[in-house]
Amino acid sequence: MLVTCFTVVILLYIIGLYFLVTTRNLIRILIALEVLTKGVTLILIVVGKMTGQIATAQSMVITLIIIEVVVLAVAAGIIISLVRHTGSLDIRKILNREE
């Protein structure tokens, strides 16, 4: 089970980093950050179970989820404002560096 959890975490990191680096769409970037955060959440729970401190891991995960929701809400608000101002979700168009 431990190997399976670490494999899932590594896959989440790879998928999140890949989409974070390759995409230019702001919504996809937010989704990539969410995938990376879910990997961190899973590794916290696994390490908490391994060390026998599941209560500490749970409290850290709850704190992480709260911070994640706040960051997501603020980022979504900024993206909505950018779309209203520029009419696009593409980073290149927002930065006026069209290719």
- Residue 7 is assigned to a structural domain of this protein: yes
User: What is the CATH classification number for the domain harbouring 18?
Assistant: 1.10.287.3510
* Percent above pLDDT 90 for the chain: 79
Is 99 within a domain? no
- Domains held by the chain: number: 1
Q: pTM for the full model?
A: 0.84
Average pLDDT over residues 83-89: 89
The two structure tokens encoding residue 49: 């179970």
Q: Which has more pLDDT, 66 or 94?
A: 66
Quick check: 60 and 44 in contact, CB under 8 A?
A: yes
- Residue 69 domain-assigned? yes
Q: Residue 86: its pLDDT value, please?
A: 87
The per-residue pLDDT for range 9-48, each reduced to its tens digit, is: 999 999 999 999 999 999 999 999 999 999 999 999 999 9
CA separation for the pair 35, 57 (Å, rounded)? 19
Query: Cβ(23)–Cβ(3) under 8 Å?
Result: no
Segments forming the whole domain that contains residue 80: 2-94
